[in-house]
Chains A and B, each alone.
With several copies, the nearest count.
Chain A
Amino acid sequence: MIVPKYTREIPQRFRLEAEKCTKCGYIAFPPRLICPECGQKSFQMIQLQPEGKILTYTIIHVAADAFSTQTPFAVAIIETKEGARMTAQVVDCTLEKIETGKDVKLMLRCIQREGKAGILQYGYKAILSR
Chain B
Amino acid sequence: MRDVYIIGVGMTKFGELWDKSLRDLFVEASLQAIENADVDHIQSMYVGAMSAGLFVGQEHIASLLSDYLGNEGIPATHVESACASGGIAVRQGYIEVASGISDIVLAGGVEKMNDGADVTFALATASDQEYEAFHGVTFPGLYAMIARAHMEKYGTTREQLAEVAVKNHEHGLKNPNAQFQMAISRDTVMKSTMVADPLRLLDCSPVTDGAAAVIICSEDVAKKSGRPLVKLRASSQATDYLALHSRKDLASLPSVARAAKKAYKDADTKPEDIDVFEVHDCFTIAELVVIEELGIVERGKSGAAVEAGITRLGGKIPVNTSGGLKSKGHPVGATGTAQIIEIVEQLRGDAGDRQVTDARLGLAQNMGGSGGSCVIHILEGIS
Which A residues form the contact surface with B (CB < 8 A)?
Answer: 1-2, 4-5, 7-9, 30, 32-36, 39, 41, 55-67, 70, 72-73, 75-78, 85-89, 100, 111-112, 114-115, 121, 123
Q: Quote the shortest CB–CB distance from B54 to chain A (angstroms).
A: 11
Q: Interface residues of B, CB < 8 Å — how many?
A: 50
Q: What is the 8 Å Cβ interface bit string for chain B, positions 326-359, against chain A (1 contact, 0 not)? A: 0000000000000000000000000000000000
- B116 in the interface, Cβ–Cβ < 8 Å? yes
Contact, CB under 8 Å: B135 / A89 = yes
Q: Quote the shortest CB–CB distance from B237 to chain A (angstroms).
A: 19
- B268 in the interface, Cβ–Cβ < 8 Å? no
- B19 in the interface, Cβ–Cβ < 8 Å? yes
Q: Which of A1, A60, A65, A121 contacts B141 (CB 8 A)?
A: A60
Q: Given that A57-B148, A59-B194, A112-B136 are known contacts, is A34 also in contact with B70, CB under 8 Å in the complex?
A: yes
Q: Given that A33-B31, A34-B31 are known contacts, is A75 also in contact with B149, CB under 8 Å in the complex?
A: no
Q: Which of A62, A72, A76, A86 contacts B120 (CB 8 A)?
A: A62
- B68 in the interface, Cβ–Cβ < 8 Å? yes
Contact, CB under 8 Å: B197 / A4 = no
Closest chain B residue to A33 by CB distance?
B27
Contact, CB under 8 Å: A60 / B196 = yes
**Complex interface: chain B residues within 8 A of A30 (CB):** 130-131
How many angstroms from the CA of A114 to the CA of B149 in the assembled complex?
31
- 17 A-B contacts, Cβ less than 8 Å apart? A1-B116, A4-B18, A8-B18, A33-B24, A34-B70, A56-B149, A58-B144, A61-B195, A61-B196, A62-B138, A64-B121, A66-B136, A77-B145, A87-B132, A87-B245, A100-B148, A121-B134
Q: Quote the shortest CB–CB distance from B151 to chain A (angstroms).
A: 10
How many angstroms from the CA of A62 to the CA of B137 in the assembled complex?
10
